[in-house]
Amino acid sequence: MYSRLLVAFLLVPLAALAAGPVAPATAFDPGTIDGSVDPCVDFYQYACNNWVAQHPLPPDRSRYARFTELSERNENVLLEILRRDAEAKAAAGSAVQKLGDEFNSCMNTAAIDRQGLAPLQPELDRIGAIAGHHDIFDEVVRLHLIGVPAFFEFDSQADFKNSTRTVANLQQGGLSLPDRDYYLKTDTKSVEIRQRFVEHVAKMLALSGEPVDAAKAHAQMVLDLETILARNSTDRVAMRNPLERYHWMTRAALASLAPFDWDAYFKAMHAPDFDALNVSNPDFLHGAEAGIFDRPLEAFRAYFAFHLLHRYAELVSETFENENFDFWDRYLTGAHEPRPREFRCVQAVDRGLGDLLGQQYIEAAFGPDAKRQIAELVDQLEKAMGQDIQTLDWMTADTKKAALAKLALITNNVGYPKKWRDYSAVAIVPGDYLGNGLRIARAAVERSLDKIGKPTDKAEWRMTTPTVNAFYSQAFNSINFPAGILQPPFFDPHRDMALNYGAIGGVIGHEMTHGFDDQGRKYDGGGNLRDWWTPADGAAFEKRTACIADQYSAFTAVGDMKINGRLTLGENTADNGGARIAYMAMENALHGNRSTIAGYTPEQRFFLGFAQVWCMNQAPQEARQRALTDPHSPGRFRAIGTLENMPEFQQAFSCKVGQPMVSPNACRAW
């Protein structure tokens, strides 16, 4: 589930996988550079043109980037692990049995096709028999218990204002398309997407056995119902403000806000008892309930049936899988064919049983040396960030003191979690892929709700170990680097260190800066929502980040769509801060040793390492979807936007005022 307390480095699906055990040592290779481009005119082209030309989009991808190469290497490691597990005759209930049988059951398409919808049929029948409002209530519960987020979402999270305790949380939800804007915008493309969505819903309903004409009418009702939810949903930019998502209220206040039988709902969800909870979006609960109340029962039946089919489409027969691919991947993001089944199964196991797989992955692919080296780098970066804060000319002493106190309290997690998730409650049955999926989903819901009212476990991770990504947690004030990302092109202990500072150093600095971006700055060192800024310093920060928002808003994402500088503000701030901190750390470590490699100074190699992480190809459909939903800017602008703000970059390449890589209005927060 999407976590609201987590700021990731890349928006790759959390199932994306990670690093190989023996990555080839890569020295600095000047052959990666396109010498025909002036680095002061377009540094992304200078650093990435050759890679981009050599890596056209494969037919099974809508985006292919340098970190995708890393994912692929790691998928192969995981595939080897799972094939071995699948052949082992391991004791029932052991990790090897669960991993092996889950992988096998995913690969066994004959059994999946034979089983078809059978495990979902009782639920579909119940939905088809909905005869009144009480049945609707029952169905919301039944779907929520198996991870289908119909109408709204209920889970647990650290209390924003007292992060040591975990509380119940209700928030907006229930949409199928990637964002509320897909339902509300009136441009030609948005209208077309909605039309195609209705066709897709109709096909899914028809595949489940509805007559085609009825399915078409019902599909339109699904869109209408979701449009009401969308109209009442808070938009992504507003959701960035934690204060917009914090509404602490008693259960009595909730009952008067939206007259749903909440007491019965919480009980049926088996949530531990509580008196008060956070309601992320009170306006949504109030408005959506009023808006959908008079819809015909038929609309509810169609909505529930589609959401159930949608959630489990990849676990039932190939016909559902293909229809799902046609709409969500081929049409919406531009991929031409599905990824090979074995890799989809690797990803499915990582999604479902990630900490079991992660333990085996660590054994195969991550040693104490890498952990130690990264921990050292993190220390250096932390010192550099301390220097950076102390020398800021726009921040007064009091706020600096508070910022340094928060920095000192950041927890650094490298490689893998201290405590692994327990899956003993999840039975994995050979040849029952859909049944396994239902049990995994149910256990995940129980696990989340069980935490309500308990002390927050800050040792928890929100990403699996093989993931090529990193994250900062606001509530935990922690930076986290899964083993999956600690590999080339991000990190290689045997290569030129300037490249490492630019690449993994940039990632580490990025995550640290998230503690001080537009969202992170609102939390203190204990992970609590608390304003520790003097009003003047807060205003100065807002002015500086407004500069960054305006800068990126001028960049074109795709076609006539610009980047949303407010949606991407936190990530862009983190990219800018991260590059500077990593650069300072490298300069500290060089001690004036500026020896060149193939004529390139350490500073030049640093900026190449920083930018080359972002080389990518992507389909225009993918770019469009990301422009509307991804808080990260496209790779090209993560490189260019950051570097055109940095005098250090301009000095390294002798860029002159007036050249494109020298911003006339350079922005800087950190």
CB of 514 to Zn ion, least distance (A): 6
Looking at beta carbons only, is 448 or 633 nearer to Zn ion? 633
Identity of the residue, 103 or 541, whose beta carbon is nearer to Zn ion in the bound complex? 541
Residue in 102, 329, 350, 511 annotated catalytic: 511
Nearer to Zn ion, 287 or 506 (CB): 506
Task: Compute the Cα dihedral for 141, 181, 632, 60 and give only its sign.
Answer: positive
Name the packing angle between helices 433-450 and 297-312 (round to 10°): 100
Question: Counting beta carbons within 10 angstroms of the beta carbon of residue 53, is it exposed (0 to 12), middle (13 to 18) or buried (19 or more)?
Answer: exposed
Phi, psi of 413 (to 5 degrees): -115, 120
Q: What is the closest distance, in whole angstroms, from the C-beta atom of residue 528 to Zn ion in the complex?
A: 21
**Least CB distance to Zn ion at residue 109 (A):** 37
Tokens of 412: 């650094």
Q: What is the C-alpha separation between 76 and 183, in angstroms, rounded?
A: 39
Q: How far is the CB of 511 from Zn ion (least distance, A)?
A: 7
| Catalytically annotated residue among 102, 575, 603, 622 | 575
Q: Which residues bind Zn ion (CB under 5 A)?
A: 7, 9, 571, 574
Q: Would you say 433 or 476 has its CB closer to Zn ion? A: 476
Q: Which is nearer to Zn ion, 9 or 490 (CB)?
A: 9
Q: In terms of DSSP bridges, do strands 411-415 and 478-482 run parallel, antiparallel, or are they unpaired?
A: parallel
Minimal distance in Å, beta carbon 632 to Zn ion? 7
Which residue, chain included where needed, has tokens 């540094």?
43
Specify the residue, 9 or 600, whose C-beta has the smaller distance to Zn ion. Answer: 9
Q: What are phi and psi of 435, to 5 degrees?
A: -60, -40
**286: which 2 tokens?**
């109030």
* Rounded-to-5 percentages of helix, strand, coil across the chain: 55, 10, 35
Closest to Zn ion by CB, 42 or 571 = 571
Has 511 been annotated as catalytic?
A: yes
Number of Cβ within a 10 Å radius of residue 178: 16
Dihedrals phi, psi of 383, to nearest 5 degrees? -60, -45
Rounded least distance, CB 631 to Zn ion, Å: 8
Element (H, E) at 481: strand 478-482
- Ramachandran area for residue 235 (φ above 0: left; ψ -120 to 50: alpha; else beta): beta
Separation CA 362–CA 482 (nearest Å): 10
b/e 482-518 (16+ beta carbons within 10 angstroms → b): bbbbbbbbbbbeebbbbbbbbbbbbbbbbbbbbbbbb
Cβ proximity to Zn ion: between 9 and 182 the closer is 9
Q: How far is CA 91 from the centre of its chain?
A: 35
Shortest approach of Zn ion to residue 361 CB, angstroms?
A: 23
CA distances from 349 to 245, 344, 468 (A): 32, 9, 16
Active site residue 575: yes
Please give the Cα distance from 218 to 519 (Å, whole number). Answer: 41
Task: Please give the positions annotated as active site.
Answer: 511, 575
